[in-house]
Amino acid sequence: KNEVEQSPQNLTAQEGEFITINCSYSVGISALHWLQQHPGGGIVSLFMLSSGKKKHGRLIATINIQEKHSSLHITASHPRDSAVYICAVGGGAGATNKLIFGTGTLLAVQP
């Protein structure tokens, strides 16, 4: 069983829709990262969370440490949001600088 599970694996949305991507993890962590991987392969950090909620523009990320669950929300989605969104967890006991990655959610936003 993967230590980090994301759902859905693939998501197609119409422009303007509200999007939610979920991440569940089974290990103890001190931080969760949401990353965006563009079609060309480059990776960009979106959020780093250890508790609560963060917002950046149209993106919102939440984490529930007790339930070992995080969500990434995109409001008013746009075709340029099309990418792979990756959840990665780390900073657990004995692994303070190691990230464990999910398999990613491939998002396609159609105009």
Residue 66 interacts with other proteins (CB under 8 A): yes or no: no
State yes or no: residue 43 binds other proteins (CB under 8 A): yes
Minimum CB distance to other proteins smaller for 44 or for 108:
44
Between the alpha carbon of residue 79 and those of residues 6, 35, 42, 49, 71, the distances in Å are 21, 17, 18, 26, 20
Distance from C-alpha of 47 to C-alpha of 9, rounded to nearest angstrom: 20
Q: Are 81 and 74 in contact (CB under 8 A)?
A: yes
Contact flag: residue 27 with other proteins (CB under 8 A) = no
Q: According to CB under 8 A, which one of 39, 42, 57, 111 is a site residue for other proteins?
A: 42
The stretch near other proteins (CB under 8 A) out of 16-24, 58-66, 70-78, 91-99 is 91-99
Q: How many Å apart are CA 26 and CA 87, to the nearest integer?
A: 13
Q: Are 110 and 45 in contact (CB under 8 A)?
A: no
Q: Is 106 in the site for other proteins (CB under 8 A)?
A: no
Residue 94 CB, nearest approach to other proteins (Å): 9
Contact residues: other proteins, CB under 8 A: 30-31, 33, 35, 40-45, 48, 50, 86, 88, 90-91, 95-104
